[in-house]
Amino acid sequence: MKAIRCRDKVKLDDLGIEIVSIALPAALALAADPITSLVDTAFVGHLGSAELAAVGVSISIFNLVAKLFNIPLLNITTSFVAEEQAVLVKDGDGSTCVDQDDNTGHQKTFLPSVSTSLALATAFGIAQTIALYFGSGFLLNTMGIPANSPMRVPAEEFTSVRAFGAPAVVLALAAQGTFRGFKDTKTPLYGIGKYLIAFILLWKLNKEVVLVIPKIDGEKVARYLKSGGLLMSRSFAVLVTMTLSTSVAAREGPLPMAGHQICLQVWLALSLLTDALALAGQAILASSFSQRNYDEARKVIYRILQIGLAAGVGLAFILFFGFAPLSYLFSTDSEVLKIARSGTLFVAVSQPMNAIAFVLDGLYYGLSDFGYASYSMVVIGLATSAFFLLAVPKFGLAGVWTGLFLFMTLRVLAGIWRCGYKDTVTVYYKAI
């Protein structure tokens, strides 16, 4: 299979409208965390270069600890809920509905994946708070920030305070994963603030599905843990690679690290917006595939890749001409701004590659191809990490940025190879 069929034009048919209707609200929800980091970066950047560099290190640590558990749980919940919901609709099985309101007769849907996800989210959130609060010093040492560094105190304070939001973040993500499985990306936009988001999403979700069940489904938990273990390995590979990029940049000194932090946060914030397309593809693909609608699954794959490439090119043009003025929001230090602007080409040119890489992630998850998603990322992470260790001491920040571009390029190549190698991959053979 060709990764993208150029002869298939991107048109606004029913499938295109469905993708856009899911992706646009999802983009707003996905932008919340990167925008929070950008706001933190903008405010702290005016305090000084050491403080700005400290925020970059702290955000990297928070992502390493939190997203090691959050991202797998979010993606697995989306896929499993979409599969269960699609099978329920196809079979017309009313046995999964439980009447909870004698006045209105409104029925809640019983989906085991939902209660399992929320239980795991609670445990993961508490564990993350403990790890971040009590282990911040050890984590900073691991990142190469010694006790006498000017970045140490502000980095430790920022990490410790932000740790208390971890339980709400994980619960909110589990609830978002459920709504995404329903192809509902609008409801997660109701909340503002970590704990408020968690409360509102659980309240809304409680109207539709049974949140707590008296009996734990051991088979469902085992399936979560097996798939979660694979995606945790994938997340670990991604986060270690990204953390290593931050660590080697930090060793260049406060000024280079501050400039790198501006580039990295803009790069992540905008490139992650294309993850909304991956989310749309995941939900639609999981639904189509669980109903054995393989022709629809093939169309989803082609269309998502096309739209992803177009979105990446658009972001590249916006950043190439708009990054320099945007950098003024993050610092007034002329040296820091000079370093940040030197990364304009990296931030802009990498956007199409980022877009395709994120879209391919969504296709893996939609087909529950968690094994390949995990193993390929471990290999890619090792290769990129080796590049960082060899190139950065010689080329500085240019080596960091080149390594990040290599990281995304290898992810795209791995995805294209997977899609094309259909003779031995039965899942893709059926879908494509």
Confidence of residue 36 (pLDDT cuts 50, 70, 90): low
Return the SS3 of 109: strand
Question: Can you tell me the mean pLDDT for 304-311?
Answer: 88
User: For residues 344 and 129, which has the higher predicted lDDT (pLDDT)?
Assistant: 129
What is the Cα 250 distance to its own chain's centre? 24
* CB-count burial class (<10 Å; 0-12, 13-18, 19+) for 68: buried
Mean pLDDT of the chain: 78
Rounded distance between C-alpha atoms, residue 289 and residue 84, angstroms: 11
Contact between residue 268 and residue 3 where contact means Cβ atoms under 8 Å apart: no
Rounded distance between C-alpha atoms, residue 227 and residue 72, angstroms: 8
Contact between residue 405 and residue 353 where contact means Cβ atoms under 8 Å apart: yes
Percent of the chain at pLDDT > 70 equals 79
Confidence of residue 381 (pLDDT cuts 50, 70, 90): very high
Q: Decide if pLDDT at 91 tops 70.
A: no
Query: How do residues 121-180 score in pLDDT, each as one tens digit?
Result: 888 888 888 888 888 888 888 777 888 888 888 888 888 888 888 888 888 888 888 888
Region of 183 on the Ramachandran plot (φ > 0 left; ψ -120 to 50 alpha; else beta):
left
Residues 6+ apart with CB under 8 A from 380: 237, 241, 407, 410, 411, 414
Return the SS3 of 98: strand
Contact between residue 394 and residue 347 where contact means Cβ atoms under 8 Å apart: no
For tokens 């390995």, the residue is 233
For tokens 């502000």, the residue is 154
Contact between residue 356 and residue 409 where contact means Cβ atoms under 8 Å apart: no
Q: For position 46, what pLDDT does the model report? A: 67
Q: Decide if pLDDT at 279 tops 60.
A: yes
Closest CA to 286 of 427, 403, 383, 408: 427
Rounded distance between C-alpha atoms, residue 198 and residue 185, angstroms: 15
Q: Decide if pLDDT at 105 tops 80.
A: no
Enter the tokens of residue 78. Answer: 């989306």
Confidence of residue 210 (pLDDT cuts 50, 70, 90): low
Which range has the worst mean pLDDT, 162-171, 218-227, 244-253?
Answer: 218-227
Contact between residue 128 and residue 173 where contact means Cβ atoms under 8 Å apart: no
Enter the tokens of residue 147. Answer: 């006790």
* CB-count burial class (<10 Å; 0-12, 13-18, 19+) for 430: middle
- Cα angle 22, 26, 31; round to 5: 160
Confidence of residue 37 (pLDDT cuts 50, 70, 90): low
Q: For position 331, what pLDDT does the model report? A: 73
